[in-house]
Amino acid sequence: MLPATDIAVCEWSEAKYLFFSENIWGDFIYYSHLLPALATILVTIFLFVNARQNKAAQALLFTGASFTIWSLMDLFLWASERVDLIMFTWSAMIYLELFIYVGVLYFIYAYVSGKFPSFKEELILFALFIPLFLFGHTSLNLTGFDLTNCWREAIEGPLWQTYIYSIEIALALWILAYAALRTFREKGLARRREIVIISTGALLFLFLFSFGNILGSFESDWEVGQIGLFGMPVLLVFISYVVVHYEAFRAKVFAAEALFSAAFLLLLSILFVRTIDNAHIIAITTLFLFSVLGFLLVRSIKAEIAQREQIESLAVKLERANTRLKQLDKQKSEFVSIASHQLRSPLTSIAGYASLLREGTYGNIPQKMLEPLERIEQSARFMTESIEDYLNVSRIESGNMKYHLTDFNLRDETEHICDDIRPEALRKGLVLLFRTNMKATGVVNADLGKVQQILHNLINNALKYTPKGTINVVVRDDTKRKRIYVDIVDTGIGMNDDTLHSIFQKFERGDKANTVNVKGTGLGLYVALKMAEAMGGTITAHSDGEGKGSRFTLELPLAL
Ligand code: ADP
C-alpha cells in the first residue's frame, strides 16, 4: 500500500459507498458505466424471464451479468483511492473480459443453431482460462502500480497486453467465421438476415468494448475507452430489433418498444452532461445509432400491426361471406326439398302405372312393348331413390331428420333383409350368406325404418360393386362394450386408400364405381353414416385394396 503521504501529494479523495468519489473527474463516467450496465442487466433478465428454456437467452443473461459486473468493477477503479483494492479488482477483471467473450460466443451459437458449442469446442474454451488460473495471481497479470503520476493506474503485464487481447481477437474471429458459415449454409432469406443482424450486433459490441480497453491499455488514455461501454446497448438494440421483427424470443412487441424508449431517454440525458467535450460527440453518435435502429424497430412494429389489422378486417369480411353462404345453403336445401317433393309423387305413379301396364292390368300388351315398359319402371324407381337421397341430405342438413326410436331385434331384421335381397343376388349370380355370432339377443333401441334403409344401402352396395363371388352378412356383438355389429363382407372391386377416405362424403364415388355401376348419386353412404351416428352408432369401411373386396360394418349400441 502507498504511504499516506503519497496519497496526500496526489490529493486523492476517499471513495464513499465504493463508487462515489471526487477522483471521478466527471459525471460522464457515471453515465458511461451505470447506464449501459443497468440497461444490460434489465434487458437480459427480461429476455431470460420471457424464455427461460431458450439457450440464447441463457447465454445472453450470462454475458449481460458479466458485463454489468465488469462495469461496476471498472467504476470502482475510477472511484477508489485504495491501491491494494485497485490492484486486486484490476487483476480480477481479466476473468470477466474472457467471460464476456465466451458468453457472446455461446449466445451466437445458441441463437443460430439452438445449441451450445460442442464438447470439443467447450474444451478449447476451457483451455483458454488455464493461463489465467495459473498466472492470474502473479506479476504476469499486473506488474505493478504506476507511481510516476497520480493517475492511480496499474501497469498491465503480458497476461493482459499479449495474452488476453490476442485471445479476444481470436474469439471474435471465431464468432465471425461461425456466423458467416451458418449464414452461407442457411437457405431461408429471412433467417439469413436475422443471423447477419444478430452477429453484426454482437461483433460490434465486442469491437467497441475491446477497442476502448486496448486503446486504454496501450495509450494509457482511458477516457476514449468510455465509448466502448456503449457497445452493449448497441447490441441490445440489435437484439430488440430481432426480437420484434422475427419474434425471436416471443417477447411482446410493446415490451421491446418500451425498452427502446427507456434506453433512448437515458442516452438523451447524456447530452446534458457538460463536464467533458467528447461526451457530446459520444452521445450524438449513440443517439444517431439508436434513432436509426429505433426507427427500424418502430417501423417493423407498425408493419406488423397494419398486417394484423388487415387480417382482422379480412376476417370480418369472411365472416359475413360465411353467413351469406350458410343462408344460401339453407335456401338451396329448402329448394331441393320442395322440388323433390313435387317430383316424388309423379315419379311414383309413373313407375306404378308402368308396372301395372307390364303386368297386363289394362289389357294385353304387345311383346315388344314389355322391355320399354320395364325400362320406364326402372328409371322411374332409380329417380325416386335418388330423390329420396336428396331429400335425406336436405333433411340432415337442415336438422329436420326425425328419429322414432323403438326396441327391435337387429339380428332378426338383418336376416329378413338378407332374405328379401337374396333373389336379386341370385339373379346376379352372387351368393348372399347370413351368419350370426351373438352373446346377447341383439335388441337395439333405434329407428327401425332408418336401420332398414342403412342395411339395404350397404347390402345393395355390396351387390352393386361385386361382379362375382359371395356376400357374407355377419351379425355379432360385444356385450362388454354393449355394441352390436353387422359386417357386410364382399368379394368385389374393393377400394384403394383414397377412395376409402372419401366415400362417406357427399357426392363422392370411387374411381372404379362407374366401371361396375354407372348409376349412383354418391349420397347413400353419406346419408347412412349420418343416420347411424344420430342413433349413437357408426359405419366403418375397410378394404385391402382394389380387387380385394370390401367390408362395411354398421355398429349400434345394444339396448340392455
Ligand atoms: P353410390 O353407390 O350411389 O355411388 P354410395 O355413397 O353408396 O354412393 O357409395 C359411395 C362410393 O363408395 C361408391 O361410389 C363406391 O365407389 C364405394 N363403395 C360403396 N360400397 C362399396 C363396396 N361394397 N365395394 C366397393 N366400393 C364400394
Residue of minimum CA distance from atom 4 in ligand 1: 522
Section 442-468 average pLDDT: 94
Ligand 1 atom at minimal distance to the Cα of residue 508? 10
Asked which of 20-24, 165-169, 477-481 is least confident by mean pLDDT, the reply is 20-24
Return the C-alpha cell found at 179. 456466423
Q: Is 521 in the pocket of ligand 1 (CB under 6 A)?
A: yes
Alpha helices of 428-558 — where are they, by DSSP H?
448-464, 497-502, 513-516, 524-534
The pTM is what? 0.50
Asked which of 175-179, 390-394, 467-471 is least confident by mean pLDDT, the reply is 390-394
Q: Is 503 in the pocket of ligand 1 (CB under 6 A)?
A: yes
Q: Is 520 in the pocket of ligand 1 (CB under 6 A)?
A: yes
Q: Is 495 in the pocket of ligand 1 (CB under 6 A)?
A: yes
Q: Is 459 in the pocket of ligand 1 (CB under 6 A)?
A: no
Higher pLDDT, 224 or 415: 415
Q: Is 524 in the pocket of ligand 1 (CB under 6 A)?
A: yes
Distance 398 CA to ligand 1 centre (A): 24
Q: For residue 2, name the pLDDT band (cuts at 50, 70, 90).
A: very low
Buried-state track 46-79, b at ≥16 Cβ within 10 A, e below 16: bbbeebeebbbbbbbbbbbbbbbbbbbbbbbbbb
Q: Which residue in 488, 485, 490, 489 sits closest to 438, CA to CA?
A: 485
Buried-state track 295-330, b at ≥16 Cβ within 10 A, e below 16: eebeebbeeeeeeeeeeeeeeeeeeeeeeeeeeeee
Residue of minimum CA distance from atom 20 in ligand 1: 461
Section 473-498 average pLDDT: 94
Section 215-238 average pLDDT: 69
Q: What is the mean pLDDT of the chain?
A: 84
Q: Is 385 in the pocket of ligand 1 (CB under 6 A)?
A: no
Q: Is the pLDDT of residue 247 over 70?
A: no
In this prediction, what percent of the chain has a pLDDT beyond 90? Answer: 39
Distance 415 CA to ligand 1 centre (A): 22
Distance 523 CA to ligand 1 centre (A): 9
Higher pLDDT, 105 or 187: 105
Ligand 1 atom at minimal distance to the Cα of residue 520? 3
Model pLDDT, residue 266: 62
Q: Which residue in 189, 205, 41 sits closest to 108, CA to CA?
A: 205
Asked which of 43-47, 104-108, 379-383 is least confident by mean pLDDT, the reply is 43-47
Cα-Cα-Cα-Cα dihedral of 169, 170, 176, 180, to 10°? 150
Model pLDDT, residue 262: 62
Beta-carbon neighbour count of residue 399 at 10 Å?
Answer: 6
Section 180-186 average pLDDT: 92
Helix (H) or strand (E) holding 494: none
Residue of minimum CA distance from atom 13 in ligand 1: 509
Q: Is 461 in the pocket of ligand 1 (CB under 6 A)?
A: yes
Beta-carbon neighbour count of residue 542 at 10 Å?
Answer: 14
Distance 524 CA to ligand 1 centre (A): 8
Q: Is 513 in the pocket of ligand 1 (CB under 6 A)?
A: yes
Model pLDDT, residue 323: 92
Over residues 273-326, the pLDDT tens digits come to 555 555 666 667 667 767 776 777 777 778 888 888 899 999 999 999 999 998
Residue of minimum CA distance from atom 8 in ligand 1: 522
Distance 516 CA to ligand 1 centre (A): 10
Ligand 1 atom at minimal distance to the Cα of residue 493? 25
Query: Going by C-beta distance under 8 Å and a sequence separation of 6 or more, which residues neighbour residue 165?
Result: 210, 214, 217
Return the best residue to mutate from 393, 421, 461, 498 for the ligand 1 pocket (most ligand atoms within 8 A of CB). 461
